[in-house]
């Protein structure tokens, strides 16, 4: 039977079938190992099949797999407590994915604006180049035409401005603005950290108009940039924070965080999720958070990120005219090329490395946070060799 015959063809998949994972490596059905610098798109922060995560999931799966959010569960309370103690927030709404966590933030912002200023306070100001998910509302918030095309009419009430343009943002935010929604480090858009100046302008605009500042850290959160949350490296604290991806190391989860006075605008019955914050995912998330917050873990992320970034910059210097820019924070890095490199990811796969290639010219690297220095050095050598051989334009 043709492989994938009965699976919707919404992904352009690589010609391998992965059957197991261990640490930073995955293995195909022929037994070949690959170093995973994509981590399931920034998900497997502790690597594949981390022993402590696996043990916690096994215990929880034999104890309580699911119950309605009409009842309390210990794993959910435990994760919410850790997130609250280590952030600005008091309360957490749990869902199943990054898109759902952003969708909840959009609904929260509109309820907040409606309750305090009336129904005309509904607009969400977003950024060009942003990516916020695949639901209709998050597609409307996403600032990339490629993800919007063909799905019109999209929900109204979303306006986009260029990133790092404080003047454009100030012109866009007004009496109809319920929230400014942004990624402090744009992920899918090409790993682009926003400037402190722009983030401070966003904070000031929101304060001036009593709008909410929402940070989407679905990709940048949970240690990815070298601190538990990316906003900790900026002079700005948001009102709402969206998390997912690495939070449960591969088990479905989303989390929307806010202070008491903000989350109070989503009272009982206003929003819900059948599977959100289920005990098994939360058991995994508790292990992830306790591991990432352990002494020395985030310092090691910063050291390994610096090692990878230095290596990428050395390669860029060795290939003048080919590499436009190396950028990012921690272990969330990108190398942007001057021209399309459509075969680069396949060539690196053949060399034994899984990577992400965005827009055919942006190599996006989001490896497990537990990656070893030797694997970083091995990847850098492989990338240098592939580029030296002339990755086909």
Instruction: Yes or no: say if 290 and 298 are a contact pair by the CB < 8 Å rule.
Output: no
Per residue in 283-314, pLDDT (tens digit) is 999 999 999 999 999 999 999 999 999 999 99
CA dihedral 356, 359, 363, 366 (to 10 degrees): -40
Determine the Cα–Cα distance for residues 18 and 140; give it in Å rounded to an integer.
33
CATH 3.40.640.10 fits 52-293, yes or no: yes
Please report, for residues 229, 288, 293, the alpha-carbon distance to residue 83 in angstroms, rounded to integers and kept in the order given: 10, 11, 11
Joined together, the tokens standing for residue 167 give 């003047």
Joined together, the tokens standing for residue 186 give 């744009």
Per residue in 209-266, pLDDT (tens digit) is 999 999 999 999 999 999 999 999 999 999 999 999 999 999 999 999 999 999 999 9
Determine the Cα–Cα distance for residues 158 and 171; give it in Å rounded to an integer.
14
Please tell me whether 220 is known to bind a ligand: no
Of residues 294, 224, 286, the one with CA closest to residue 251: 286
Please tell me whether 99 is known to bind a ligand: yes
Q: How far is CA 229 from the centre of its chain?
A: 11
- Residue 390's pLDDT is 75
- In percent, the amount of the chain with pLDDT more than 90 equals 97
**H runs (alpha helix) in 7-151:** 39-42, 51-61, 74-85, 98-117, 136-141, 145-148
- Residue 391's pLDDT is 54
Per residue in 76-92, pLDDT (tens digit) is 999 999 999 999 999 99
Q: 353 forms bridges with which residues in the sheet?
A: 35
Q: What is the DSSP letter of 195?
A: P
Instruction: Yes or no: say if 147 and 154 are a contact pair by the CB < 8 Å rule.
Output: no
Residue 169 phi, psi (nearest 5): -65, -45
Q: How far is CA 350 from the centre of its chain?
A: 27
Per residue in 331-368, pLDDT (tens digit) is 999 999 999 999 999 999 999 999 999 999 999 999 99
Instruction: Yes or no: say if 240 and 256 are a contact pair by the CB < 8 Å rule.
Output: yes
Joined together, the tokens standing for residue 336 give 């942007």
Please tell me whether 131 is known to bind a ligand: yes
Per residue in 156-169, pLDDT (tens digit) is 999 999 999 999 99
Please tell me whether 128 is known to bind a ligand: no
| 132-159 burial code (b ≥16 CB/10 A, e <16) | bbebebbbbbbbbeebeeeeeeeeeebb
Please tell me whether 281 is known to bind a ligand: no
Please tell me whether 388 is known to bind a ligand: no
Of residues 21, 2, 12, the one with CA closest to residue 250: 21
Please tell me whether 134 is known to bind a ligand: yes
- Residue 3's pLDDT is 84
- Residue 200's pLDDT is 98
Please tell me whether 47 is known to bind a ligand: no
Q: Is the peptide bond before 153 cis (omega within 30 degrees of 0)?
A: yes
The architecture CATH gives domain 18-50+296-390? Alpha-Beta Complex (3.90)
Instruction: Yes or no: say if 113 and 121 are a contact pair by the CB < 8 Å rule.
Output: yes
Instruction: Yes or no: say if 369 and 224 are a contact pair by the CB < 8 Å rule.
Output: yes
Q: Which residues contact 381 (CB under 8 A, 6 or more apart)?
A: none
Question: Which of helix, strand or coil describes residue 337?
Answer: strand
Of residues 326, 360, 353, 358, the one with CA closest to residue 187: 358
Determine the Cα–Cα distance for residues 336 and 317; give it in Å rounded to an integer.
13
Please tell me whether 159 is known to bind a ligand: no
Please tell me whether 218 is known to bind a ligand: yes
**H runs (alpha helix) in the chain:** 39-42, 51-61, 74-85, 98-117, 136-141, 145-148, 166-172, 196-209, 260-263, 279-292, 297-318, 344-350, 373-388
Q: Is the predicted pLDDT of residue 393 greater than 90, yes or no?
A: no
Question: Does 18-50+296-390 match 52-293 in CATH topology?
Answer: no
Mean pLDDT (whole number) for 121-142? 98
Of the pLDDT bands very low, low, confident and very high (cuts 50, 70, 90), residue 392 is: very low
Name the residue ranges covered by the structural domains of the chain: 18-50+296-390, 52-293
Q: Is the predicted pLDDT of residue 94 greater than 60, yes or no?
A: yes
Determine the Cα–Cα distance for residues 358 and 340; give it in Å rounded to an integer.
10
């Amino acid at each position: 039977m043709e492989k994938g015959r009965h699976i919707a063809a919404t992904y352009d998949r690589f010609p391998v079938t992965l059957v197991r994972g261990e640490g930073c490596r995955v293995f195909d059905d022929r037994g070949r190992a690959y170093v995973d610098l994509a981590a399931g798109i920034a998900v497997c922060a502790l690597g594949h099949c981390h022993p402590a995560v696996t043990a916690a999931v096994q215990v929880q799966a034999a104890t309580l797999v699911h119950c309605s959010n009409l009842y309390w569960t210990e794993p959910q309370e435990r994760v919410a407590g850790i997130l609250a103690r280590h952030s600005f927030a008091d309360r957490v709404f749990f869902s199943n994915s990054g898109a759902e966590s952003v969708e909840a933030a959009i609904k929260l912002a509109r309820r907040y604006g409606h309750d305090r200023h009336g129904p005309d306070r509904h607009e969400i100001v977003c950024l060009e180049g942003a990516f916020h998910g695949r639901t209709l509302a998050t597609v409307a918030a996403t600032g990339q035409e490629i993800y919007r095309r063909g799905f019109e009419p999209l929900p109204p009430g979303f306006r986009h401005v260029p990133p790092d343009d404080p003047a454009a943002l100030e012109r866009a935010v007004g009496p109809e603005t319920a929230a400014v929604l942004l990624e402090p480090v744009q992920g899918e858009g090409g790993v682009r950290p926003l400037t402190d100046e722009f983030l401070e302008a966003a904070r000031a605009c929101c304060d001036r108009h009593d709008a909410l500042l929402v940070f989407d850290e679905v990709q940048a959160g949970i240690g990815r940039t070298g601190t538990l949350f990316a906003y900790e490296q900026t002079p700005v604290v948001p009102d709402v924070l969206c998390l997912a991806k690495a939070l449960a190391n591969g088990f479905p989860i989303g989390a929307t965080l806010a202070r008491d006075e903000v989350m109070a605008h989503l009272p009982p019955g206003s929003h819900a999720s059948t599977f959100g914050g289920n005990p098994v995912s939360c058991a995994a998330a508790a292990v992830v958070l306790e591991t990432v917050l352990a002494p020395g873990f985030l310092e090691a992320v910063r050291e390994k990120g610096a090692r990878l970034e230095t290596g990428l910059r050395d390669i860029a210097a060795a290939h003048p005219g080919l590499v436009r820019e190396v950028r990012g924070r921690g272990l969330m890095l990108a190398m942007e090329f001057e021209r399309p490199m459509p075969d680069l990811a396949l060539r690196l796969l053949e060399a034994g490395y899984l990577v992400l290639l965005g827009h055919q010219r942006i190599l996006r690297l989001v490896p497990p946070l537990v990656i070893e220095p030797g694997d970083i050095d091995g990847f850098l050598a492989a990338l240098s060799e592939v580029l030296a051989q002339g990755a086909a334009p």
